Amino acid sequence: MNNIHNSWSSLFTNYKFDLDTLYDSEDIIYPNKDCVFKVFEMDLNKIKVVLLGQDPYHNPDQANGLSFSVNPGIKIPPSLKNIYKEIQHEYPERNYIFQCGNLERWFKEEYIFLLNASLTVVKNKPASHMKLWEKFTNDVIKYISENNDNCIFFLLGNFAKSKEIYILNKNNIITGVHPSPLSANKGFFGSNIFRSIEEKLNTQIDWNI
């Protein structure tokens, strides 16, 4: 937890986390222990967009502590592939080419806060740690909302939309259909939702990876 930016300190003082005990269990847990709080390396005040996911990928070598993102060399997951498709559709003039599922550049250079509602998961058991992290990540959303009035909360799908209650400024919310293969054709594709984010921010985001 040494790399957590000091802008989060007043939030973290209310919590004590024993990751050693959690990871010493018989379960295989993702992501790696040193990546659990990776997203909090970002300065709270620099966040432009909060992209909320549900929980980390639960298959080996995928999760890296950032929502929707996978480690380099790992096959691009279906939902992220659909996100890429929509970005390419919305910005044909930018000639985006996506060959990797690692969203580290979005995080480090575009200040997109890639938060999962659960920060850990048991191998092959989606949502297995949701209750463990729910109060904390709800408080994270509230904390961002209270301390950064310029960022956009990007909520895709019903689960993410359920977190609207923790966001003070409803004008800072952009919602949409989840990009999973089950729902992307029901309103995500063709939504121009990434253009909506840029318009709301009044700035261009470089969506390259």
User: Which one from 43, 55, 61, 139 is the annotated catalytic residue?
Assistant: 55
Q: Is 50 strand, coil or helix?
A: strand
**Residue 83, H or E segment:** helix 78-90
Calpha distance 201→209 (Å, rounded): 20
Task: Enter the DSSP assignment of 63.
Answer: B
Q: Are 49 and 112 in contact (CB under 8 A)?
A: yes
Cis peptide before 126 (omega within 30 of 0): no
Calpha distance 207→144 (Å, rounded): 22
Q: In the annotation, is 55 catalytic?
A: yes
Query: Which residues lie below 8 Å from residue 7, measured CB to CB, with a gap of 6+?
Result: 43, 44, 45, 147
Calpha distance 90→84 (Å, rounded): 10
Helix pair angle (78-90, 193-201), 10° resolution: 70
Catalytic positions, please?
55
